[in-house]
Amino acid sequence: MLTTELANGIAMPRLGFGVFQMDDHTRCEEAVVSALTCGYRLLDTAAAYENEAAVGRAIRRSGVAREEIFLTTKLWVQDYGYESTKQAFYRSLERLQTDYLDLYLIHQPYSDIHGSWRAMEDLYREGVIKAIGVSNFSSAQLADLITFNRIAPMVNQVETHPFCQQWHAADFMQQHNIAIEAWAPFAEGKNDIFTQPLLATLAERYQKSVAQIILRWLLQRNVVVIPKSVNPQRIAENFAVFDVSLTEQDMATIATLDLGKPFIANHADPERIAFIGTRCFAT
């Protein structure tokens, strides 16, 4: 298993399993059990996904020791602020049936992120979180958090796929020892990504699927990636990417697909910020 070393020395698996939009708890639980059985050891959920309890049940069912799993969840905007963050954190622990997290992320870069971050710094120092980070933060927002707090984010989870490659953001994160983690590595299936001619040609050449080519490309960029699926065959296929290596030329060829802007969600869009502010969940 490839890993990425975080700023505090902790090894984070570079290939994990995400559960975004798995609102059918039975299917979510079964998918996580399948993933753990295949060998995945990084699991990524969020309070806003409303499936933390299903993930917790799957971990217990799987028979995989808790200490072998790198478990991530995220704080939603309605719970931002120092005290609210601590309360939301312990609710997440209860749903996940665990007494610590490997990684806790601020889910969206709005509202009282500094109050939440200071609560997370304290939880980190108390030892109930092994690493702390953020999601969807721009380089400027990362700089703000770094400058006015004591601990820098260790991870930033952002939209990253062949049409939104995040090269400038990744350079900034590397300069500040922040690991980049990709959500939506398959661009949510948009823009005909699975039949894209360049990717399809590479898939044929390496005798892999387009999805496997994309995952291998991200892994070789040192990007942590969390593909999702509820199909056991696809779950296994997405994990079978350690027996191939793309050439530098093929890596460069994929780089030509970059559109240089967000493809799924623009977190600097005022309308999106207003929309996020209306989204409340049962946390």
The helix or strand, by DSSP H or E, that contains position 60, with its residue range, turns out to be helix 52-62
Cβ-based neighbours of 88, under 8 Å, separated by 6 or more: 47, 75, 76, 79, 283
**Nearest 10 degrees: Cα torsion 235, 156, 12, 231:** -10
**Whole-angstrom Cα distance, residue 166 to residue 170?**
6
Helices 25-38 and 52-62 pack at an angle, to 10 degrees, of 40
Cα–Cα distances in angstroms (integers) from residue 179 to residues 86, 130, 154, 171, 215, in the given order = 24, 14, 6, 10, 16
Catalytic residue check, 49: yes
Amino acid letter for position 166 = Q
The helix or strand, by DSSP H or E, that contains position 170, with its residue range, turns out to be helix 167-175
3, 64, 40: which is closest to 232 by C-alpha?
40
Neighbouring C-beta atoms of residue 207, cutoff 10 Å: 8
Q: What phi and psi values does residue 21 have, to the nearest 5 degrees?
A: 70, 15
Buried b / exposed e over 253-278, threshold 16 CB at 10 Å, is bbeebeeeebbebebeeeeebeebee
Cβ-based neighbours of 236, under 8 Å, separated by 6 or more: 34, 38
Spot the catalytic one: 40, 49, 80, 124: 49
Q: Which residues are catalytic?
A: 49
